[in-house]
Amino acid sequence: MHKQAWLRQHLKCLACGGALAAAGEWRCGSCGATYAVINNAVSFIDAELAAQTKVDAPNKVSDHAYNTTARAIITAVEAQGGMALDCGAGLRDFRSEHLVQVEISAYDNIDVLAVNQALPFADASFDAVISLDVLEHVSDPFASARELARVLKPGGVLFIDVPFLQVEHGYPHHYFNMTRMGMRQLFEGMLECQAHVVPRSGHPGHVVWSMLQGFRVGLPRPERAEFESLTVGELMALGPNGIRDMYENAFNEEAAWRMASTTQALFTKPWDQAANRLGLAVNELAAFRPRKAKARPAALAQRVRASPALAPLKRARLILSKMFAGARRSFRAE
């Protein structure tokens, strides 16, 4: 049991950093703090930490197989007799004596229950750390990045994947997407970036599809059917304001949150009075006023369909559809 022996050496008390001993539950030799075992995983999440980091175990299971690169990294760690950390593993059907899988839910493959912002491992514990589609789900990605860097040995490898243009999704919370600069900035001064690419799984094709999908599911049936009938060219001809004006009234509010281009907010600093310092009624400001349903510019779609710029496209589609119909007829005749 390489991994259990390893965990006894490398797990540390979250309260005081002391060494832990296992006997049913895990107990800190220095301060006496105890850590329960849940479904064979040592748990470093108590109610207070869960509230602080806004963690609650998701009811939707995240289950992905390791990609080829993650497997290659784990294989290299195994070959060296080292230890890898998968921080935010989800449910995986792969385990290894040289891989510690951390999650906030006690799936069968999980060794340690912990939040990314407070990892219960000694400094420089791991030869490799894997963090795949996790940091968008943590309330403090900067603290989480510091922890990933802290538990990595000098010369150790971090393999990380964080979405940029993805619509809001749960499991259970989704906080921060990252640009390429954001991803690099997270580890600035701690780790050196050796390679940074757009993977096949992150191709813009996925963005186009998920945005169109997110938009169509935000519409009730009649508008959805109409939206689906528009060509890309017609949508482009509508322009951003045109698309908004066409579907503003029909669009589902929750769907709008999931893929909003931007969101607006007004905060106040707490003080001893109920109103804000300016005496502003927030819901009377234009930005926060309940919006009146605007009449849908019904002519917009028709205008787009009649657009001369699209005429050649329409002709081409007509010719193609006639050709296919002809081909089908001659195929049937044979």
Tell me the closest approach of the beta carbon of residue 138 to Zn ion, in angstroms.
24
Q: Which of residues 161-220 bind Zn ion (CB under 5 A)?
A: none
Is residue 151 a contact partner of residue 125, using CB atoms and an 8 Å limit?
A: yes
Is residue 7 a contact partner of residue 42, using CB atoms and an 8 Å limit?
A: yes
Tell me the closest approach of the beta carbon of residue 129 to Zn ion, in angstroms.
24
Nearer to Zn ion, 18 or 82 (CB): 18
Is residue 13 a contact partner of residue 31, using CB atoms and an 8 Å limit?
A: yes
Query: Would you give the binding string for Zn ion spanning residues 27-66, x where CB under 5 A is met?
Result: -x-xx-x---------------------------------
Tell me the closest approach of the beta carbon of residue 24 to Zn ion, in angstroms.
17
15 binding Zn ion? (CB under 5 A): yes
Long-range contacts of 73-80 (CB under 8 A, 24+ apart): 73/128, 73/130, 73/157, 73/159, 74/98, 74/99, 74/128, 74/130, 76/128, 77/127, 77/128, 80/127
Write phi, then psi, for 68 (nearest 5 degrees): -60, -40
Nearer to Zn ion, 20 or 160 (CB): 20
Dihedral angle of Cα 214, 217, 222, 223, to the nearest 10 degrees: -20
Nearer to Zn ion, 9 or 268 (CB): 9
Stretch touching Zn ion by CB under 5 A, among 14-22, 55-63, 184-192, 287-295: 14-22
Q: Which two tokens stand for residue 289?
A: 């006023």
- Applying CB under 5 A, among 3, 6, 8, 18 the residue interacting with Zn ion is 18
Q: What is the DSSP letter of 265?
A: -
Write phi, then psi, for 148 (nearest 5 degrees): -60, -40
- Applying CB under 5 A, among 16, 72, 260, 316 the residue interacting with Zn ion is 16
13 binding Zn ion? (CB under 5 A): yes
Nearer to Zn ion, 31 or 72 (CB): 31
| Cα separation, 12 vs 3, whole angstroms | 15
Tell me the closest approach of the beta carbon of residue 41 to Zn ion, in angstroms.
19
Interacting residues toward Zn ion by CB under 5 A: 13, 15-16, 18, 28, 30-31, 33
